[in-house]
Amino acid sequence: MGTWEAIVLGLVQGLTEFLPVSSSAHLRIVGELIGSADPGAAFTAITQIGTETAVLLYFRRDIASICRAWWSSVRGDRGTDLRARLGAPRGQRPDHEALMAWFIALGSVPIVVLGLAFQDKIEGSFRNLWLIVLTLAGFALVLGWADRIGSKRREITELNTKDAVLFGFAQAMALIPGVSRSGGTITGGLLMGYTREAAARYSFLLALPAVFGSGLFQLAKSVGDFGQNGTPSFASTLVATIVAFAVGYVVIIAFLKIVSTFSYKPFVIYRLALAAVVAILLLTGVLDPIGVQPTGAL
């Protein structure tokens, strides 16, 4: 992978990570189209560190407030016991910011457990382009349906333990390329009656532990293997990650403005169109459903 390919893939990662269109699917498709082959699940996970750093920067005040409230609640300065913080008994007003920290931690469990359980498939068979075609199209229809029937009345302050778990399983569907981490989480939120903006904002926060954890794990596992056996070099991976950070920050701002005004219909149409294009490219032999994947750790 050369510098320009790294820039292109970083641009793709930054543009698609927060949109409900699946960044991992786009990296898989674009990587092969520009001649870099499948950059691999590890490359995808590491470059996502860039986009999640953009989330940290954009939501820095919210995140700092949540962390302070959580630490105060642990020390006993706010709220009472763990049951009160998670269950909000009748007559007791819960500390929403402290609750958010617990909910994000709880919602991160499904993707961690399932990610470890299906790691081999995530890095292998799940990256088959025919499967990606099916998930792009299938979840486009699910997203459109959820956006149409969702009541869109609930705000993120109404989040509870049950919803946090459901959000977590919705996010875990993104372990299959083509589903989309934000798309899965947002779809789950819409089906539970949350507003578009509330579901989108929570999807950003919920992704932080899982994405940073996955990216740092893959980075540690890949030390010494950069540039070996067909894997991208450290320099290329770093360039892509930096580009993803810069582009991702701009996309966050634009996306939150879009979802507060418009429906998800354009993303549904885009996913269906992309699925059709990839299917045609597969049938004509332009794309290989399996692709050439790196054999090293990265």
Query: Please, is 151 exposed, middle or buried when counting C-beta atoms within 10 Å of its C-beta (0-12, 13-18, 19+)?
Result: exposed
Give the integer Cα–Cα distance in Å for 145 and 71: 39
- For position 248, what pLDDT does the model report? 94
The widest CA-to-CA distance across the chain, in whole angstroms, is 64
pLDDT: which is higher, 277 or 223: 277
pLDDT score at 37:
64
Question: Is the pLDDT at 41 greater than 90, yes or no?
Answer: no
Instruction: Tokens for 285, please give them.
Output: 């032999």
Which pLDDT does position 224 carry in this prediction?
A: 67
Helices of type H across the chain: 3-16, 23-33, 41-58, 60-75, 82-87, 96-117, 119-123, 129-149, 161-172, 181-191, 196-222, 234-259, 265-283
Residue 230 has pLDDT above 80, yes or no: no
Q: Which helix (H) or strand (E) holds 225?
A: none
The pLDDT of residue 88: 43
Q: What is the pTM of this model?
A: 0.84
What is the average pLDDT value for the chain, to the nearest integer? Answer: 86
Task: Judge whether 165 and 106 are in contact, CB under 8 Å.
Answer: yes
First to last CA, the chain: 13
Give me the mean pLDDT over the 245-266 stretch. 91
- Report residue 298's pLDDT band, with 50, 70 and 90 as the boundaries: very low
Mean per-residue pLDDT, 31-35: 84
pLDDT value, residue 280: 97
For the segment 123-174, what is each residue's pLDDT rounded down to a tens digit?
778 889 999 999 999 999 999 999 999 999 999 989 999 999 999 999 999 9
Q: Is 246 exposed, middle or buried (0-12, 13-18, 19+ CB in 10 A)?
A: middle
Q: Cα–Cα distance between 128 and 110 in angstroms, integer?
A: 23
pLDDT digits (tens, 9 = 90+) for 181-227: 999 999 999 999 999 999 999 999 999 998 898 888 888 877 766 76
- The pLDDT assigned to 35 comes to 74
pLDDT of residue 225: 67
Question: Would you state the pLDDT for residue 80?
Answer: 42
**Residues 87-129: pLDDT tens digits?**
444 444 457 788 899 999 999 999 999 988 888 888 778 889 9
pLDDT of residue 66 exceeding 50? yes
Residue 292, pLDDT above cutoff 70: no
Contact assessment for residue 133 and residue 279, using Cβ atoms and an 8 Å cutoff: yes
Beta bridge partners of 154: 194
Q: Tell me if 136 sits within 8 A of 234, measured CB to CB.
A: no
